[in-house]
Amino acid sequence: MKRLRVTKPKAIIKVFAVLLPLLLCGFGVASASSEHSSGVSGNVAATPAVEVAHGGAEAAPEEEKAGDVIMHHILDKGVLSFEPFGEVSLPHLSIPASVPVLGGLDISVTKHVVMLWLVSAALLIVFSIVGGKYKTMNARQAPKGLANAMEALVEFIRLDVAKSNIGHGYEKHLPYLLTIFFFILFCNLLGLIPYGATATGNVNVTLALSIFTFFVTQVAAFRAHGVKGYLQHLTAGTHWSLWIIMVPIEIIGQFTKPFALTVRLFANMTAGHIIILSLIFISFILKSYIVAVAVSVPFAIFIYLLELFVAFLQAFVFTMLSALFIGLATAHEGHDEHEAAVAHH
Protein backbone atom coordinates (compact mmCIF):
# COMPACT_ATOMS: atom_id res chain seq x y z
CA MET A 1 0.00 0.00 0.00
CA LYS A 2 1.25 3.44 -0.85
CA ARG A 3 2.64 5.21 2.15
CA LEU A 4 0.87 8.32 3.38
CA ARG A 5 2.37 11.54 2.03
CA VAL A 6 -0.58 13.92 2.23
CA THR A 7 0.00 15.02 5.79
CA LYS A 8 3.61 15.67 6.69
CA PRO A 9 4.75 15.23 10.30
CA LYS A 10 5.90 18.86 10.46
CA ALA A 11 2.46 20.09 9.46
CA ILE A 12 0.81 18.01 12.18
CA ILE A 13 3.21 19.33 14.82
CA LYS A 14 2.53 22.92 13.74
CA VAL A 15 -1.22 22.39 14.07
CA PHE A 16 -0.77 20.99 17.57
CA ALA A 17 1.47 23.89 18.54
CA VAL A 18 -1.17 26.42 17.43
CA LEU A 19 -4.45 24.84 18.53
CA LEU A 20 -3.55 23.21 21.82
CA PRO A 21 -2.41 26.39 23.62
CA LEU A 22 -5.74 27.94 22.58
CA LEU A 23 -7.56 25.02 24.13
CA LEU A 24 -5.59 25.35 27.34
CA CYS A 25 -5.88 29.09 27.74
CA GLY A 26 -9.36 29.59 26.32
CA PHE A 27 -11.58 27.10 28.11
CA GLY A 28 -9.48 24.59 30.02
CA VAL A 29 -8.77 27.02 32.84
CA ALA A 30 -12.42 28.08 32.98
CA SER A 31 -13.15 24.98 35.02
CA ALA A 32 -11.31 26.53 37.94
CA SER A 33 -13.84 29.32 38.41
CA SER A 34 -16.60 27.18 39.89
CA GLU A 35 -14.17 25.40 42.17
CA HIS A 36 -12.44 28.36 43.77
CA SER A 37 -15.38 30.75 43.74
CA SER A 38 -17.36 28.33 45.88
CA GLY A 39 -14.55 28.12 48.40
CA VAL A 40 -14.02 24.39 47.99
CA SER A 41 -10.43 23.41 48.60
CA GLY A 42 -10.75 20.01 46.97
CA ASN A 43 -9.29 18.07 49.85
CA VAL A 44 -11.68 16.12 52.09
CA ALA A 45 -15.21 17.09 53.06
CA ALA A 46 -15.26 19.68 55.84
CA THR A 47 -15.45 18.18 59.33
CA PRO A 48 -15.89 20.99 61.87
CA ALA A 49 -14.94 20.31 65.47
CA VAL A 50 -17.98 19.78 67.66
CA GLU A 51 -17.72 19.81 71.41
CA VAL A 52 -19.12 16.73 73.14
CA ALA A 53 -21.39 17.62 76.07
CA HIS A 54 -19.70 15.44 78.69
CA GLY A 55 -16.09 14.91 77.71
CA GLY A 56 -15.48 18.19 75.95
CA ALA A 57 -13.50 16.35 73.27
CA GLU A 58 -13.86 16.91 69.57
CA ALA A 59 -16.25 14.69 67.66
CA ALA A 60 -14.77 12.10 65.33
CA PRO A 61 -14.54 13.16 61.69
CA GLU A 62 -17.55 12.17 59.68
CA GLU A 63 -16.85 9.17 57.47
CA GLU A 64 -16.70 10.03 53.78
CA LYS A 65 -19.48 8.41 51.77
CA ALA A 66 -19.13 6.54 48.50
CA GLY A 67 -20.88 9.31 46.58
CA ASP A 68 -18.44 11.88 47.96
CA VAL A 69 -15.45 9.82 46.83
CA ILE A 70 -16.94 9.36 43.35
CA MET A 71 -17.67 13.05 42.94
CA HIS A 72 -14.22 13.89 44.30
CA HIS A 73 -12.78 11.81 41.45
CA ILE A 74 -15.10 13.15 38.75
CA LEU A 75 -15.23 16.87 39.55
CA ASP A 76 -12.45 19.31 38.77
CA LYS A 77 -10.47 20.27 41.88
CA GLY A 78 -7.69 22.61 42.87
CA VAL A 79 -5.54 19.72 44.15
CA LEU A 80 -3.88 16.60 42.80
CA SER A 81 -4.66 13.56 44.95
CA PHE A 82 -2.03 10.83 45.32
CA GLU A 83 -3.65 8.60 47.91
CA PRO A 84 -2.32 7.28 50.24
CA PHE A 85 0.70 9.54 49.79
CA GLY A 86 -1.16 12.82 50.16
CA GLU A 87 -2.25 15.75 47.99
CA VAL A 88 -0.59 18.58 46.11
CA SER A 89 -2.34 21.95 46.15
CA LEU A 90 -2.38 23.83 42.86
CA PRO A 91 -1.91 27.61 42.63
CA HIS A 92 -4.93 29.86 42.82
CA LEU A 93 -4.59 32.66 40.28
CA SER A 94 -6.87 35.47 39.13
CA ILE A 95 -6.53 38.54 36.93
CA PRO A 96 -6.44 41.74 39.01
CA ALA A 97 -9.74 43.59 39.19
CA SER A 98 -8.04 46.73 37.84
CA VAL A 99 -7.56 45.10 34.44
CA PRO A 100 -10.30 46.22 31.99
CA VAL A 101 -12.82 43.62 30.77
CA LEU A 102 -10.93 40.63 32.18
CA GLY A 103 -10.56 41.97 35.70
CA GLY A 104 -11.38 39.42 38.38
CA LEU A 105 -11.36 36.46 35.99
CA ASP A 106 -10.34 33.24 37.75
CA ILE A 107 -7.51 31.49 35.88
CA SER A 108 -6.56 29.06 38.64
CA VAL A 109 -4.80 25.81 37.81
CA THR A 110 -6.85 22.65 38.41
CA LYS A 111 -6.19 18.95 37.91
CA HIS A 112 -7.92 18.98 34.52
CA VAL A 113 -5.73 21.88 33.41
CA VAL A 114 -2.67 19.88 34.48
CA MET A 115 -3.94 16.91 32.45
CA LEU A 116 -4.37 19.18 29.42
CA TRP A 117 -0.76 20.26 29.80
CA LEU A 118 0.37 16.65 30.05
CA VAL A 119 -1.66 15.70 26.97
CA SER A 120 -0.16 18.61 25.02
CA ALA A 121 3.34 17.60 26.03
CA ALA A 122 2.68 13.94 25.20
CA LEU A 123 1.33 14.82 21.75
CA LEU A 124 4.27 17.04 20.90
CA ILE A 125 6.74 14.40 22.09
CA VAL A 126 5.03 11.52 20.23
CA PHE A 127 4.72 13.34 16.93
CA SER A 128 8.21 14.81 17.22
CA ILE A 129 9.52 11.25 17.54
CA VAL A 130 7.37 10.08 14.62
CA GLY A 131 8.48 13.03 12.49
CA GLY A 132 12.11 12.27 13.30
CA LYS A 133 11.68 8.67 12.20
CA TYR A 134 10.19 9.75 8.88
CA LYS A 135 13.24 11.93 8.24
CA THR A 136 15.58 8.96 8.56
CA MET A 137 13.45 6.66 6.37
CA ASN A 138 13.89 6.31 2.64
CA ALA A 139 10.95 6.36 0.23
CA ARG A 140 10.61 2.56 0.05
CA GLN A 141 11.13 1.78 3.72
CA ALA A 142 8.03 0.85 5.74
CA PRO A 143 7.53 2.47 9.16
CA LYS A 144 7.86 0.38 12.30
CA GLY A 145 6.72 0.56 15.90
CA LEU A 146 5.25 3.89 16.99
CA ALA A 147 5.49 5.43 13.52
CA ASN A 148 3.57 2.49 12.05
CA ALA A 149 0.80 2.80 14.66
CA MET A 150 0.46 6.56 14.16
CA GLU A 151 0.45 6.20 10.37
CA ALA A 152 -2.33 3.61 10.59
CA LEU A 153 -4.46 5.99 12.66
CA VAL A 154 -3.70 8.94 10.39
CA GLU A 155 -4.55 6.89 7.32
CA PHE A 156 -7.81 5.81 8.93
CA ILE A 157 -8.84 9.39 9.70
CA ARG A 158 -7.76 10.54 6.24
CA LEU A 159 -9.70 7.94 4.24
CA ASP A 160 -12.60 6.76 6.40
CA VAL A 161 -13.38 10.03 8.16
CA ALA A 162 -12.18 13.09 6.25
CA LYS A 163 -12.40 11.88 2.63
CA SER A 164 -15.60 9.90 3.13
CA ASN A 165 -17.53 12.74 4.79
CA ILE A 166 -16.05 15.87 3.22
CA GLY A 167 -15.08 14.68 -0.25
CA HIS A 168 -13.35 17.11 -2.57
CA GLY A 169 -11.02 19.48 -0.73
CA TYR A 170 -10.83 17.36 2.42
CA GLU A 171 -7.05 17.81 2.61
CA LYS A 172 -7.34 21.37 3.92
CA HIS A 173 -9.39 20.15 6.91
CA LEU A 174 -7.29 17.06 7.62
CA PRO A 175 -4.80 18.73 10.04
CA TYR A 176 -7.65 19.96 12.23
CA LEU A 177 -9.42 16.60 12.25
CA LEU A 178 -6.20 14.81 13.13
CA THR A 179 -5.57 17.30 15.92
CA ILE A 180 -8.90 16.84 17.65
CA PHE A 181 -8.80 13.06 17.19
CA PHE A 182 -5.43 12.57 18.87
CA PHE A 183 -6.11 15.26 21.46
CA ILE A 184 -9.36 13.60 22.59
CA LEU A 185 -7.80 10.13 22.39
CA PHE A 186 -4.86 11.06 24.62
CA CYS A 187 -7.15 12.85 27.10
CA ASN A 188 -9.36 9.76 27.32
CA LEU A 189 -6.45 7.34 27.76
CA LEU A 190 -4.58 9.41 30.36
CA GLY A 191 -7.77 9.53 32.40
CA LEU A 192 -7.59 5.74 32.82
CA ILE A 193 -4.15 5.61 34.40
CA PRO A 194 -3.69 5.67 38.20
CA TYR A 195 -3.87 9.19 39.68
CA GLY A 196 -5.00 10.50 36.30
CA ALA A 197 -8.06 12.59 35.46
CA THR A 198 -10.15 12.66 32.30
CA ALA A 199 -10.06 16.20 30.96
CA THR A 200 -12.75 15.34 28.40
CA GLY A 201 -15.02 14.63 31.37
CA ASN A 202 -15.01 18.40 31.91
CA VAL A 203 -17.76 20.16 29.98
CA ASN A 204 -15.54 23.24 29.52
CA VAL A 205 -13.03 21.20 27.52
CA THR A 206 -15.64 19.51 25.34
CA LEU A 207 -17.33 22.87 24.80
CA ALA A 208 -14.03 24.37 23.61
CA LEU A 209 -13.54 21.53 21.14
CA SER A 210 -17.11 21.94 19.87
CA ILE A 211 -16.67 25.68 19.42
CA PHE A 212 -13.56 25.04 17.32
CA THR A 213 -15.58 22.68 15.13
CA PHE A 214 -18.39 25.25 14.89
CA PHE A 215 -16.08 28.03 13.66
CA VAL A 216 -14.22 25.72 11.27
CA THR A 217 -17.58 24.63 9.83
CA GLN A 218 -18.86 28.18 9.40
CA VAL A 219 -15.64 29.42 7.80
CA ALA A 220 -15.62 26.44 5.44
CA ALA A 221 -19.23 27.15 4.46
CA PHE A 222 -18.50 30.82 3.71
CA ARG A 223 -15.45 29.91 1.64
CA ALA A 224 -17.34 27.24 -0.30
CA HIS A 225 -20.53 29.18 -1.05
CA GLY A 226 -19.83 32.83 -0.38
CA VAL A 227 -22.11 35.12 1.58
CA LYS A 228 -24.98 34.84 -0.90
CA GLY A 229 -24.81 31.05 -1.05
CA TYR A 230 -24.58 30.83 2.72
CA LEU A 231 -27.74 32.91 3.16
CA GLN A 232 -29.50 30.80 0.53
CA HIS A 233 -28.57 27.73 2.54
CA LEU A 234 -30.37 29.20 5.57
CA THR A 235 -33.57 29.51 3.53
CA ALA A 236 -33.19 25.89 2.32
CA GLY A 237 -34.38 26.86 -1.17
CA THR A 238 -37.94 27.48 0.01
CA HIS A 239 -40.32 30.20 -1.11
CA TRP A 240 -39.75 33.61 0.48
CA SER A 241 -43.06 33.34 2.36
CA LEU A 242 -41.60 30.48 4.42
CA TRP A 243 -38.35 32.25 5.32
CA ILE A 244 -39.81 33.45 8.63
CA ILE A 245 -40.02 29.77 9.63
CA MET A 246 -36.98 28.27 7.88
CA VAL A 247 -34.37 30.87 8.87
CA PRO A 248 -34.86 30.53 12.67
CA ILE A 249 -34.94 26.73 12.35
CA GLU A 250 -31.70 26.69 10.37
CA ILE A 251 -29.99 29.09 12.80
CA ILE A 252 -31.03 26.95 15.78
CA GLY A 253 -29.75 23.89 13.91
CA GLN A 254 -26.34 25.52 13.54
CA PHE A 255 -26.00 25.74 17.33
CA THR A 256 -27.52 22.37 18.22
CA LYS A 257 -24.66 20.59 16.44
CA PRO A 258 -21.86 21.86 18.73
CA PHE A 259 -24.17 21.39 21.72
CA ALA A 260 -24.64 17.73 20.77
CA LEU A 261 -20.86 17.30 20.38
CA THR A 262 -20.28 18.87 23.79
CA VAL A 263 -22.78 16.76 25.72
CA ARG A 264 -22.03 13.48 23.91
CA LEU A 265 -18.31 13.42 24.71
CA PHE A 266 -18.70 14.83 28.23
CA ALA A 267 -21.48 12.41 29.24
CA ASN A 268 -19.83 9.30 27.83
CA MET A 269 -16.46 9.89 29.46
CA THR A 270 -18.00 10.83 32.81
CA ALA A 271 -20.44 7.90 32.89
CA GLY A 272 -17.72 5.29 32.49
CA HIS A 273 -15.79 6.45 35.55
CA ILE A 274 -18.94 6.66 37.64
CA ILE A 275 -19.87 3.08 36.73
CA ILE A 276 -16.41 1.72 37.58
CA LEU A 277 -16.30 3.45 40.96
CA SER A 278 -19.88 2.45 41.75
CA LEU A 279 -19.11 -1.21 41.09
CA ILE A 280 -16.08 -1.06 43.35
CA PHE A 281 -18.06 0.51 46.19
CA ILE A 282 -20.76 -2.17 46.07
CA SER A 283 -18.53 -4.56 48.03
CA PHE A 284 -17.75 -1.88 50.63
CA ILE A 285 -21.39 -0.94 51.06
CA LEU A 286 -22.49 -4.56 51.44
CA LYS A 287 -19.31 -5.46 53.38
CA SER A 288 -19.04 -8.80 51.61
CA TYR A 289 -15.94 -10.52 50.26
CA ILE A 290 -18.15 -12.74 48.10
CA VAL A 291 -19.70 -9.73 46.38
CA ALA A 292 -16.25 -8.25 45.86
CA VAL A 293 -14.83 -11.39 44.26
CA ALA A 294 -17.93 -12.39 42.29
CA VAL A 295 -19.35 -9.01 41.26
CA SER A 296 -17.35 -5.87 42.01
CA VAL A 297 -13.87 -6.79 40.80
CA PRO A 298 -14.81 -8.79 37.65
CA PHE A 299 -17.39 -6.26 36.46
CA ALA A 300 -15.15 -3.30 37.27
CA ILE A 301 -12.33 -4.85 35.24
CA PHE A 302 -14.74 -5.52 32.37
CA ILE A 303 -16.00 -1.92 32.38
CA TYR A 304 -12.41 -0.67 32.60
CA LEU A 305 -11.47 -2.65 29.49
CA LEU A 306 -14.63 -1.37 27.85
CA GLU A 307 -13.52 2.15 28.68
CA LEU A 308 -10.34 1.56 26.67
CA PHE A 309 -12.54 0.86 23.67
CA VAL A 310 -14.77 3.84 24.47
CA ALA A 311 -11.68 6.09 24.59
CA PHE A 312 -10.98 5.31 20.94
CA LEU A 313 -14.66 5.24 19.99
CA GLN A 314 -15.49 8.68 21.38
CA ALA A 315 -12.43 10.23 19.74
CA PHE A 316 -13.56 8.71 16.45
CA VAL A 317 -17.21 9.78 16.89
CA PHE A 318 -16.32 13.39 17.68
CA THR A 319 -13.94 13.56 14.70
CA MET A 320 -16.38 11.83 12.37
CA LEU A 321 -19.25 14.15 13.32
CA SER A 322 -16.97 17.17 12.90
CA ALA A 323 -16.04 15.98 9.41
CA LEU A 324 -19.70 15.29 8.64
CA PHE A 325 -20.75 18.80 9.68
CA ILE A 326 -17.97 20.30 7.56
CA GLY A 327 -18.98 18.13 4.62
CA LEU A 328 -22.63 19.12 4.89
CA ALA A 329 -21.70 22.80 5.11
CA THR A 330 -19.41 22.72 2.06
CA ALA A 331 -21.38 20.37 -0.20
CA HIS A 332 -22.82 21.85 -3.39
CA GLU A 333 -26.08 20.85 -4.98
CA GLY A 334 -25.57 18.00 -7.41
CA HIS A 335 -22.14 17.28 -5.95
CA ASP A 336 -22.92 13.63 -5.25
CA GLU A 337 -24.37 13.08 -8.72
CA HIS A 338 -21.28 14.58 -10.32
CA GLU A 339 -18.93 12.37 -8.30
CA ALA A 340 -20.99 9.30 -9.13
CA ALA A 341 -20.84 10.12 -12.84
CA VAL A 342 -17.07 10.60 -12.68
CA ALA A 343 -16.64 7.30 -10.85
CA HIS A 344 -18.85 5.54 -13.44
CA HIS A 345 -16.74 6.77 -16.33
- Three-state SS for 247-310 is HHHHHHHHHHHHHHHHHHHHHHHHHHHHHHHHHHHHHHHHCCHHHHHHHHHHHHHHHHHHHHHH
Contact 78, 41 (CB under 8 A): yes
The model's confidence at residue 36, banded by pLDDT at 50, 70 and 90, is: very low
Q: At what angle do helices 203-235 and 243-286 cross, to 10 degrees?
A: 160
Give percent of the chain above pLDDT 90. Answer: 30
Higher pLDDT, 52 or 159: 159
Assess whether pLDDT exceeds 70 at residue 57. no
**pTM here?**
0.76
Cα–Cα dist 111/124, whole Å: 20
Which tens digits make up the pLDDT trace of 200-221? 999 999 999 999 999 999 999 8
Q: Which residue from 258, 282, 268, 278 is spatially nearest to 315, judged by alpha carbons?
A: 268
Lowest mean pLDDT among 43-52, 55-64, 193-202: 43-52
- What pLDDT is attached to residue 116? 93
59 secondary structure, DSSP code? P
Assess whether pLDDT exceeds 90 at residue 178. yes
